Amino acid sequence: METQAILEEMLELLSQNGVIIRTEAMGGSGGGLCKLKDKRIFYVDSDASAVQTAFLSAQAIGEIVDIENLYLRPQVREFIENSTSKL
């Protein structure tokens, strides 16, 4: 499974859990989860690589979603677990 496909599934998972997804050009090193008032927003840096954005989205999922009882494709689950274990 390609990184872009994994990223798309993770962004969908964030969206399903109430996170607003915004895409902005941030120079290639930005993006990530933030909280503004009572809303969670995940910024996707359109200048960043899919791998970097996938890593940041996996970290965001690790913070707000309990993936233990969710069905995820094995490649997506593995990516999230590998990304969050490095924190």
Task: Determine contact, residues 22/41, Cβ cutoff 8 Å.
Answer: yes
Predicted pLDDT at 19: 97
Task: Determine contact, residues 13/61, Cβ cutoff 8 Å.
Answer: yes
Q: Is 41 helix (H, G, I), strand (E, B) or coil?
A: strand
Task: Determine contact, residues 25/44, Cβ cutoff 8 Å.
Answer: no
Structural domains of the chain ordered from first start = 3-84 (3.30.2010)
**pLDDT tens digits in sequence order for the chain, 87 residues long:** 799 999 999 999 999 999 999 999 999 877 899 999 999 999 999 999 999 999 999 999 999 998 998 999 999 999 999 988 765
Residue closest to 31 by CA, chosen among 53, 15, 61: 53
Close Cβ partners of 64 (under 8 Å, ≥ 6 residues apart):
14, 17, 19, 33, 40
Predicted pLDDT at 87: 54
For residues 31 and 42, give the distance between their C-alpha atoms in angstroms, rounded to a whole number. 7
